[in-house]
């Protein structure tokens, strides 16, 4: 059973090993693949969940995620309470289990064929994704009775924010929440556009592919990430990349969720 673990523990952090160990306790056949995202970056987690869950995957695939900034309540907490554990079944058959924090479920909200709360406490441990949630994930994966609770109202999950950095890959390419289809409807006077992220602004070549620009040139183009929407239309997301370089560095290392202005 393929189990993607998406979390903000940090590259090579002990927490990943502990969570894998606990998941395999409840799902001995689990084959874990680890995908780190920046601290508290629920938008990046949501993007990864959709990219992995809405594309072809082996039967039985599970996505287990934990990015829980505990921002659902700004007051002091008892018992290390945090956002609740949720479950989504996607059209591909992939099952998603993780905290409903920020934008974690935003990309899959409107495509999920089932969206429910998990029947597990949201408090009781500082390290809930190790101590509480793996057992609940195992129960859901094995189809145990009473593992799931009531349906989640879509209004409990926010919309995907527009024109933002959603994910930064290992090459420094900036994957965005700008749809290629939306960008195609815009008219520009030339193939060169202005890209402003935070206080940094650069000129970029608007192209249809990653290698349609020369080495050293910044490009704004449809990237490799995307999936099919509810209308059976292929969605692709625009990327900002620097061929032969690092776009993230060139824009002074902006954070996930930073707004992007294209002019």
Q: How many domains is the chain partitioned into structurally?
A: 2
**Quick one: pLDDT at residue 72?**
44
pLDDT digits (tens, 9 = 90+) for 135-155: 999 999 999 989 999 999 999
pLDDT digits (tens, 9 = 90+) for 88-133: 999 999 999 999 999 999 999 999 999 999 988 776 677 888 888 8
Last residue within a domain, chosen from 132, 156, 180: 156
**Quick one: pLDDT at residue 127?**
81
Specify whether 180 is located in the same domain as 144: no
Specify whether 33 is located in the same domain as 151: yes
Specify whether 6 is located in the same domain as 69: yes
* Residue 20 belongs to domain with CATH number: 3.40.50.10790
Specify whether 123 is located in the same domain as 216: no
Mean pLDDT of all residues in the chain? 89
Specify whether 180 is located in the same domain as 138: no
pLDDT digits (tens, 9 = 90+) for 44-62: 999 999 999 999 999 999 9
Specify whether 88 is located in the same domain as 112: yes
Last residue within a domain, chosen from 128, 156, 184: 156
Task: Give the structural domain span for 219.
Answer: 165-262
Specify whether 6 is located in the same domain as 112: yes
Specify whether 148 is located in the same domain as 177: no
- 60 CB-near residues (< 8 Å, 6+ apart): 1, 2, 93, 141
Whether 185 shows a pLDDT value over 60: the answer reads no
* 79 or 193, higher pLDDT: 193
Last residue within a domain, chosen from 156, 189, 217: 156
Specify whether 152 is located in the same domain as 169: no
Specify whether 216 is located in the same domain as 125: no
pTM for the model stands at 0.90
C-alpha distances out from residue 162 to 70, 112, 152, 207, Å: 23, 20, 23, 21
Question: What average pLDDT does the segment 168-186 reach?
Answer: 86
* Residue 252 belongs to domain with CATH number: 2.40.30.90
Specify whether 130 is located in the same domain as 171: no
Specify whether 198 is located in the same domain as 97: no
């Amino acid at each position: 059973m393929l189990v993607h673990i998406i979390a903000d523990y940090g590259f090579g952090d002990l927490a990943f090993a502990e969570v894998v160990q606990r998941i395999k306790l409840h799902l001995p056949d689990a084959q874990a693949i680890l995908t780190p995202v920046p601290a508290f970056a629920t938008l990046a987690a949501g993007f990864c969940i959709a990219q992995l869950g809405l594309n072809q995957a082996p039967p039985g695939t599970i996505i287990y995620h934990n990015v829980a900034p505990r921002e659902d309540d700004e007051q002091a907490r008892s018992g290390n309470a945090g956002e609740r554990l949720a479950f989504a079944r996607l059209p591909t058959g992939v099952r998603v289990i993780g905290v409903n924090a920020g934008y974690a479920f935003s990309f899959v909200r409107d495509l999920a064929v089932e969206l429910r709360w998990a029947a597990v406490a949201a408090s009781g441990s500082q390290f809930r994704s190790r101590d509480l949630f793996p057992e609940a994930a195992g129960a859901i994966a094995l189809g145990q009775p009473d593992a799931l609770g009531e349906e989640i109202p879509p209004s409990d999950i926010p919309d995907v924010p527009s024109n933002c950095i959603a994910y930064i890959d290992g090459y420094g390419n900036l994957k965005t929440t700008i749809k290629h289809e939306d960008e195609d409807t815009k008219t520009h006077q030339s193939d060169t556009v202005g890209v402003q992220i935070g206080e940094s602004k650069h000129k970029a070549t608007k192209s249809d592919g990653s290698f349609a620009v020369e080495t050293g040139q910044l490009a704004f183009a449809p990237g490799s990430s995307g999936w099919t929407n509810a209308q059976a239309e292929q969605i692709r997301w625009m990327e900002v990349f620097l061929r032969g370089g690092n776009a993230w560095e060139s824009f002074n290392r902006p954070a996930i969720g930073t707004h992007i202005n294209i002019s």
